[in-house]
Amino acid sequence: MKYTTPMKSIFLLFAAAFAAEPTTYFNTGLTSQVYSRNDGWAEDKAIKVYTFTNPMNGTAQTGLVAAPIYVFRRDTDPKSTPVQKNLIPVAPGDPGYSDLWNVTVVTVPANVTDVITSYSQLATLITSKQVTLSYPNVLVNCPVVHQNSTLDTPSDAKDVTGYYNGQLVHYFDFGVNGAGNGNNNLEKVYVILDSTGNPSGNHVFPGIPGEDGYTAFWYVTTVTTKPGYVANTITSSGATSQGTQNVKMPLTIVNCPVVFVSNSSNGSTNTMTGTTKNGASQFAPSFLALIALLL
């Protein structure tokens, strides 16, 4: 019997070592895909956006609900050297999941050597006051995706592996949502329909990065146009008054980070030149199919 305790300790050591570096990915239920830059319009400029459709909660009045993302540091500065991978407490499909994350700094003293891979493990350390939390009030846009998913233009976001529930999880880091430390605004994305209700032309967004109040999070609003409407005539939110607006209920929220803004108002089939991030890319028709799915 005298060996029970040491054996148990050795077993726990092995268990801890095994849990320290997970090698398997949590199954999010999402499909593996290459996310395409899609064409849109914003204030008469041709833009490129990605589209992510993880379920999220929010209202037009109060904005999108953010979830905490835990970043591990020796101090309270989110910009200092990471101690380990980031941890998220919720995955797509969980209550409270959001692509918008509220950066939460976990200050880990050097004598806490465990790799923290699950929220329950973190909660124990918080309760025993071995780590402390601080909130720099920074909101970042990081959609969780399938482990093998990629962006058609990889430089548009950082490709990150984090921890969830003792396993690995894959997300794209599009950075701070909006100006400054970010915001949780929800704005309308206008899906333009012809008079028979079929999507017609590119979607219209009311803002671009760098503008006040810009957000990558939008709620789907259809604009039904009159017979004879010519696709891609409406290229600004102001011009949507030409049609009849209808907010899709329950509020359908999409994450569409704008990654490119052209200088030209002449649409998607032209080679685009512009100032935001990368250069021209190919026309991606899959966006229409996707929004058709949302309707």
Ligand X SMILES: *[C@@H]1O[C@H](CO)[C@@H](O)[C@H](O)[C@H]1NC(C)=O
Give the CA count within 13 Å in the CB-facing half-sphere of 68: 14
127 binds ligand X (CB under 6 A): no
Q: How far is the CB of 180 from ligand X (least distance, A)?
A: 13
Question: What is the distance between the alpha carbons of residues 182 and 64, in angstroms, rounded to a whole number?
Answer: 12
Choose which of 181, 246, 273, 286 interacts with ligand X (CB under 6 A).
273
270 binds ligand X (CB under 6 A): yes
**Quick one: 242 or 273, whose CB is closer to ligand X?**
273
213 binds ligand X (CB under 6 A): no
210 binds ligand X (CB under 6 A): no
Residues 152 to 191 in contact with ligand X, rule: CB under 6 A = 184
Question: What is the distance between the alpha carbons of residues 160 and 39, in angstroms, rounded to a whole number?
Answer: 25
**Long-range interactions of 11-18: CB distance < 8 A, separation 24+:** 16/114
**Quick one: 58 or 193, whose CB is closer to ligand X?**
58
56 binds ligand X (CB under 6 A): yes
Q: How long is the chain?
A: 295
Q: How far is the CB of 138 from ligand X (least distance, A)?
A: 9
What is the four-CA torsion angle of 287, 96, 252, 102, rounded to 10 degrees?
-70
32 binds ligand X (CB under 6 A): yes
**Quick one: 97 or 174, whose CB is closer to ligand X?**
97
Residues 71 to 110 in contact with ligand X, rule: CB under 6 A = 95-97, 102, 109
Q: How far is the CB of 196 from ligand X (least distance, A)?
A: 26
Choose which of 57, 167, 276, 281 interacts with ligand X (CB under 6 A).
57
Q: How far is the CB of 195 from ligand X (least distance, A)?
A: 24
**Quick one: 104 or 221, whose CB is closer to ligand X?**
104
Q: Which residues bind ligand X (CB under 6 A)?
A: 32, 55-57, 66, 95-97, 102, 109, 111-112, 130, 135, 139, 147-148, 184, 263, 266, 270, 273-275
